[in-house]
Structure 1
Amino acid sequence: MGVVIKQSFWGTVISYIGVIVGYVNTLYVRVEYLDLGQIGLFTLITSNAMMVSPVSSLGMGSSFVKYFPAFQKGSNNQFFSFLFLITLGGNALVLFVCYLFKDAITLRYLVNAPSYVHYLSITAIIIVSNSFFDLFFSYSRSIKKVIFPSFLRDIFLRLGALLLVIGFAMDWWDFDGAVIGLGVNYSLAFLSLIAQLMIKHGFRFDFQFVFISKEWGLKLFQFGSYSMLLAGSFALINNATYDQVTTILGPEMNGIFTTCFFIAMIVEMPRRNMSKVVGPILSEEFEKQNMDEVGRLYKRGSITMSIIGMLLFIGIITNLQDLFDFIPKGSEFQMGFWIVIGVCATKLMLMISSFAGEIINFSHLYRYNLFFQVLAAIILVSMNHFLISIYGLNGAVISYFTAITIHIIVKLLFVKYHFRIHPFVRSHIPLFVIGAVITIGAYLFQPALNPILKITIRSILTTLFFVFLIYKFRISADINKIIHSTFERFLKINLPK
């Protein structure tokens, strides 16, 4: 268990450092040194690759994690090598199909984003590199060695993108060179992971496949297909809008959309790390058929994440205007004001919904998650097709908000119907009242200071008042325990209980 805790701790630290690097790059360096069209193209190249790579990997990474325990230590490399060849074939097939439809793909971008056509080969390189990176990441997860691959994914790739823009700003290379560097960046991450596994953990390819039976082949096909569709639909939800904004409105508008979308993503960040911790617990409770404990985790997770999400939501929306005043080209990014508001609201709803998706995923009804996710992807892409043309960037955020809201509601109702549990408690009502009061107060607080000072002072005061009210009204026992232990340990103050 010590190994798991250590890996989880450093994985969390790495992910937050990666977020900081991403914010510096997205909110300052890119907007300072790239024009809107270049920002849009830079993002589109990687987002399109992220959208396709789950398909080209054919779900083999998840398959290795699932079936890893079934093989003896000596045959794990044989099994992995077999999946490596399948992934290689999946990439070859996807690239071949893209080559056959090259004219149709070119035509798609010719009107509003003709410059992207020149970078299709870079997208292809990233597709291949990312699909193999995910496969070898799965190997690392299976042997419980995730610190280095997490560093590569969350920090190395973001630092690389940051350095590419800085190099462009310093005239070390032109924009084409920076784009080519994206392909190099992802390739280096993939090759570095292979090298680390070979040097430090003794990984070797072993292409003796006599142990792969037809029964195992069928299992791989079924689970691999499920994993591919699940990961593919998730990637579609996260990346399709970037592509549709570019093809309908142009790369300049995509530059605004991607930057504003990134601002709001921090609201959901705590949920990602909490789900990693809660996932194994839910799996264990389902194994025991202890639905009472599953229900308690569901409710505790909701109120805790609601508090954290509410604080982050308030911090972003009340400081948004000052943020636009502070960042380079802020007046242009103000076009994305409602993007930030809409995405923040969506992410807050995800926090409030707790672990509905995880509960479905760890139950015998796990396959329904695929149906719900594919449904959300279809709704998103369909609404984007119509609304972006009519309402521009606001149409894109309406589509995203609607698709994810439907996705959340369907999962909540599904869990309520099948497991007779829901995430809501009475404390949600005073929490929303506190959130509304703090939001109004923070919004009205407009001292005559420069934007960065206003953001700093407003954020400190908002946090202090919010935490005080949450503690005073005992909204969450878990949060109150954290506040108590913090005051006792670091300030040597014993708060009344």
Structure 2
Amino acid sequence: MGIVLNQSAKNTVLTYLGFGIGAINVLFLYTKFLSPEYFGLITYILSTANILMPLMAFGVHNTIIKFYSSFRSKQSQNSFLILMLFLPFAIIIPAGILGCLFFSSISEWLSGDNPIVKDYVWHIYIAAVSFAYFEVFYAWSRVQMQSVFGNFMKEVFHRILTTLLLVFLYLDWLTVDQLIWGIVGIYILRMIVMKLYAYSLRFPSFKLSKIPNVRAILKYSALIIIAGSVANVILEIDKFMINYYVPIENVAFYGVAIYIATVIGVPSRSLHQITSPLTAKLLNEKDRDGLKLLYQKSSINLFIITGFIFLIIVLNINQLYMMLESGYADGLVVVFVIGLAKLMEGIIGNNNAILFNSDYYRMVLILGVFLAILTVILNALFIPLFGINGAAFATLLAMFFYSASKVGFVYKKFRMSPFTSNTVKVFILILVCMGAFYFWDFSFHPIVNIGLKSLLIALGYGIIVYTLNLSEDINQIINKLLNR
């Protein structure tokens, strides 16, 4: 776990730096400088682009991770990477042509009850292509066991530039329309920089040779498009469907709540960047013992860390919403509900990496399609009844069934579970902290209250985790810090 902990720690720091900058943007700058309607529009554009991203990428970013380590010679690796580089055009070009031919019908459908969306449909397409090729080049660097720079680009780079654009908007140097174009331009620039970095690690050579198992590679890519799309649908379809049933400013209220809750899932994202290629390597080498150890360690480490962040956010959420503009507090329940969904993502460890990189990846497709349909149905039922809270409950239920199904399938096929006795102890610890800290606050300014309460939670939670030795890896990190 040495390289995992090293790069995961760096990725976590970078990701939280990015989320800190993003928090300033989402919680304060967007809400102060933009009307909820336009903030909701930007959220809708980016969410819809994220839904389309796996399709535009043709599943290539997952295919690179799964198959790259199976090639032994540099020539075969190079030919494989060249194929991955051009494969997304099989979707991107036809999608662009269809967009031109049927633009009016597509824009009407995407707009729903909010005609403001019609003028920004091409923004969605361009952003989706930029997201797709960024993930391709990020996977290109990750299989070289270099994930830190890519994580900086994924989490920090675009948020810093977005901050600048929002300041320019405040100074009247930009119009709202120019701001939206500028945000899309940032993602194009991010893709180009990631490409240059990926090529610096391994520059593609167009001296091609026959690729072994090319049929299996193409089959995997085609199927993983749907599996990847399903995962993004479960994560993003709520914002997309809110646009259909309620005014678009509710997308902004929901987006702020989702952003706050998403912080809980940052460690899972950071760990996944490096555990995914390692999991693929262990599977290709048929090292079941190593795979089980990685599965359980990733689960308990993530559960402890995400559980701590869940407590910090949920136990301070009332104070945080006191600092936001009126109207945004409607998302308070959403934070708690989506926070539980993110906690479930953490507890299953590198389960996704095991399924995506094994011969059972088709099951992800079957489970995912079923749950994507379930998510759409639940949102269609709950949003008209409960508004944005209904969207949150729909997401939580879908994520619960999805996570439980994947854990059960891995146990059936690999005879391994992510859970240990320490999992139960961490669960009890989280419940005790909730009961001990939720019902009181200091009587100071909200920022001071959040700081003091978070410090007390951190001390209590950290001491118990360390004393009970709930994670060897976390205790080793603490010991190193104490020795220094």
Do these two structures clear the TM 0.5 threshold for a shared fold by scoring above it? Answer: yes
Say yes or no: does 1:427 pair with 2:422: yes
Deviates more, 1:370-379 or 1:252-261: 370-379
Aligned pair partner of 2:323 in 323, 326, 337: 326
Deviates more, 1:15-24 or 1:416-425: 416-425
Q: 1:53 offset after TM fit, Å?
A: 2.5
Question: Residue 122 of structure 1 contacts residue 182 of structure 1 at CA under 8 Å; is this kept in 2?
Answer: no
Greater relative contact order (CA < 8 Å, ≥ 6 in sequence):
2
Q: 1:95 offset after TM fit, Å?
A: 1.9
Say yes or no: does 1:156 pair with 2:151: no
Match of 1:409 in 2: 404
- Aligned partners of 1:203, 1:484: CA distance in 2, in Å? 41
Say yes or no: does 1:453 pair with 2:448: yes
- Aligned partners of 1:193, 1:23: CA distance in 2, in Å? 24
Q: Residue 264 of structure 2 aligns to which amino acid in structure 1?
A: V
Say yes or no: does 1:240 pair with 2:237: yes
Secondary structure, aligned partner of 1:326:
coil
Q: Residue 339 of structure 1 aligns to which amino acid in structure 2?
A: V
Match of 2:457 in 1: 462
- Structure 1: runs of 5 or more not aligned: 491-497
Structure 1 residues 71, 353: CA separation in 2 closer, same or farther (over 3 Å shift)? closer
Match of 1:23 in 2: 23
- Aligned partners of 2:114, 2:361: CA distance in 1, in Å? 40
Q: 1:474 offset after TM fit, Å?
A: 4.3
Deviates more, 1:424-433 or 1:219-228: 424-433
Give a deviation string over 1:320-354, Cα, whole Å, max 9, x none: 01000123x0x311111111000111111222233
Q: 1:455 offset after TM fit, Å?
A: 0.4
Match of 2:228 in 1: 231
Secondary structure, aligned partner of 2:322:
helix
- Aligned partners of 1:300, 1:83: CA distance in 2, in Å? 32
Matches within 5 A, 1:363-402: 363-402=358-397
Match of 2:127 in 1: 126
Aligned pair partner of 2:299 in 291, 298, 302: 302
Structure 1 residues 292, 450: CA separation in 2 closer, same or farther (over 3 Å shift)? same
- Aligned partners of 1:94, 1:205: CA distance in 2, in Å? 28
Say yes or no: does 1:251 pair with 2:248: yes
Q: 1:429 offset after TM fit, Å?
A: 3.8
Q: How many residues align?
A: 483
Q: 1:55 offset after TM fit, Å?
A: 0.9
- Aligned partners of 2:165, 2:346: CA distance in 1, in Å? 34
Matches within 5 A, 1:51-200: 51-66=51-66, 68=68, 70=71, 73=74, 80-110=81-111, 112-144=113-145, 146-196=147-197, 200=200
- Structure 2: runs of 5 or more not aligned: none
Q: 1:415 offset after TM fit, Å?
A: 2.6
Say yes or no: does 1:313 pair with 2:310: yes
Q: 1:205 offset after TM fit, Å?
A: 7.2
Question: Residue 4 of structure 1 contacts residue 144 of structure 1 at CA under 8 Å; is this kept in 2?
Answer: no
Q: Using the aligned pairs only, state the percent identity.
A: 24
Give a deviation string over 1:430-473, Cα, whole Å, max 9, x none: 43333223222212332211100100000001111222233344
- Aligned partners of 2:329, 2:31: CA distance in 1, in Å? 13
Match of 1:264 in 2: 261
Deviates more, 1:435-444 or 1:40-49: 435-444
Secondary structure, aligned partner of 1:414:
helix
**Structure 1 length as normaliser, TM-score?**
0.87
Q: Residue 24 of structure 1 aligns to which amino acid in structure 2?
A: I
Question: Residue 383 of structure 1 contacts residue 399 of structure 1 at CA under 8 Å; is this kept in 2?
Answer: yes
Q: 1:39 offset after TM fit, Å?
A: 1.3
Q: 1:187 offset after TM fit, Å?
A: 1.9
Give a deviation string over 1:274-302, Cα, whole Å, max 9, x none: 34444455455556655455444444433
Secondary structure, aligned partner of 1:421:
coil
Question: Residue 58 of structure 2 contacts residue 91 of structure 2 at CA under 8 Å; is this kept in 1?
Answer: yes
Q: Residue 454 of structure 1 aligns to which amino acid in structure 2?
A: N
Match of 1:494 in 2: none
Who wins on radius of gyration, i.e. which is larger? 1
Give a deviation string over 1:237-276, Cα, whole Å, max 9, x none: 2221111111221220000111100101121221223344
Q: 1:2 offset after TM fit, Å?
A: 10
- Aligned partners of 1:283, 1:106: CA distance in 2, in Å? 40
**Structure 2 length as normaliser, TM-score?**
0.89
Match of 1:335 in 2: 330
- Aligned partners of 1:485, 1:108: CA distance in 2, in Å? 56
Q: Residue 383 of structure 1 aligns to which amino acid in structure 2?
A: L
